[in-house]
Structure 1
Amino acid sequence: MKIDIYPLGLIQTNCYVLSNENGDALIIDPGDEGARLRKEIDKKRLKPVAILLTHAHFDHIGAVDYIRDHYSIPVYMHKEEADWLSNPNLNGSGKYADLPNVSNRAADHFIEEGTVSIGPFTFDVKHTPGHSPGSLSFVFDNDRLAIVGDTLFKESIGRTDLIGGDTQTLLNSIHSKLLSLDDDYAIYPGHGPFTFIEDEKDHNPFLNGF
């Protein structure tokens, strides 16, 4: 499977486009710049089958309806944040006077922890709350990678001072759901560079002694 990374918007949120050899694609966290993202997808002649959301903060959902409508594909997320897509006060865009309010229609499907199949893709969904109550991580065992949103970063962790955030819950999620993966799994976060489980065990100062 191929993974393309597009940092989008003012906060440079990583949008991931995962595609197979047939050109079928999953779009994860289309946070902004929908027209630019569409051009990149079309240039590669990919065929999106779904949008997955790691969580519903505004910088991860800004282009959801644009991409959903252009490709006529469904949106999947955790039910804990069902109201966040349409509510700027919950998704955080309402906090900033210099940013437009972000509002989308409701998700098409809610997903829980477990093995999920969407089109030709099968992967494990892990509920990893702490940064937000409905945060999800998507684990692709055959490719030894996990897309984790704002739960875990290279030598850092997600912030917990937003609505529904909690530091101990976040650390529990990282320890039980992510650090339990094999050391060679690549971790693709919502911002910044990718990393590996082994490197975070050895070098992440927020996890030392946990």
Structure 2
Amino acid sequence: MLNIRTYPLGFIQTNCYVISNAKKECLIFDPGGNGEQLIKELNRLHLKPIAILLTHAHFDHIGAVDDVRDAYHIPVYIHPTEKTWLTNAEKNGSAKYAEIPNIIAKEADVMLNHEEKMSIGDFEFTISHTPGHSPGSITYYFESDGFAIVGDTLFQNSIGRTDLPGGNEKQLLKSIHTKLLTLPVETVIYPGHGPASIVQAEMDSNPFLNGF
């Protein structure tokens, strides 16, 4: 059974998820900031990071990518649609905000396919391309443990913004209805911000999904 730890990091407290197994290996999802703090925590827990996986490349999800990548010499995975966003503050959105510095990172190491089953070390999961909030948004579904890392596509009682560059509301709703709400109803949803939820709860009470 996998262990899931949540760390709200960075300027707007983006959820960074650290998924670890019995061997203390771990995957790191969306390290959005506070890299030194995150590395100290990983070392305190004696975890061994083996990969960084991004749900998408908006600035608040990538702020500590290079800190963690360089500390552990591990690869970064991303959807190819957002390949250039890591190195471009205009594309990742950080250049829009005067109160924060431009956030950039080196290019990702591995491009993800639209839909595929993957294994990294002993971790097995399915990738789904869920565009709408951003064109390269990805969901990572861990079927055997009954949870999905969904980024900013779906939240508890809300959905992702579509007013940012590359956003598309119709596409977002299609992704949610065809890729997320079709998961088993007991699947736990881990979003990019805020608390976790389950598929059934969002089907029943999410006001943005009326008519499902």
Q: Compute the TM-score of the two structures, normalised by the length of structure 2.
A: 0.98
Aligned length: 210
Structure 2: stretches of 5+ with no match in the other structure: none
Q: Quick one: percent identity of the two aligned structures?
A: 59
Per-residue CA deviations over 1:126-184 (Å, capped at 9, x if unaligned) read 00000000000000001100000000000000000011100000000000000000110
Structure 1: stretches of 5+ with no match in the other structure: none
- Equivalent residue for 1:117? 119
- Equivalent residue for 1:173? 175
Task: Give the residue type in structure 1 aligned to 2:196.
Answer: F
Q: Secondary structure at the match of 1:206?
A: helix
Shift of 1:122: 1.0
- Equivalent residue for 1:160? 162
- Separation in 1, partners of 2:69, 2:59: 16
- Separation in 1, partners of 2:178, 2:118: 20
Paired residues for 1:1-210 under 5 Å: 1-112=2-113, 113-210=115-212
- Separation in 2, partners of 1:104, 1:8: 16
- Separation in 1, partners of 2:83, 2:121: 23
Task: Give the residue type in structure 2 aligned to 1:187.
Answer: I
- Separation in 1, partners of 2:169, 2:140: 21
Shift of 1:35: 0.4
Task: Give the residue type in structure 1 aligned to 2:57.
Answer: A
CA RMSD of aligned residues (A): 0.5
Q: Compute the TM-score of the two structures, normalised by the length of structure 1.
A: 0.99
- Separation in 2, partners of 1:10, 1:84: 18
Q: Secondary structure at the match of 1:122?
A: strand
Shift of 1:10: 2.0
- Separation in 2, partners of 1:88, 1:135: 18
Shift of 1:64: 0.3
Per-residue CA deviations over 1:77-118 (Å, capped at 9, x if unaligned) read 000000100100000000011100011110000011210111
- Separation in 1, partners of 2:203, 2:107: 37
Q: Secondary structure at the match of 1:89?
A: helix
- Separation in 1, partners of 2:127, 2:165: 22
Task: Give the residue type in structure 2 aligned to 1:158.
Answer: G
Q: Secondary structure at the match of 2:6?
A: strand
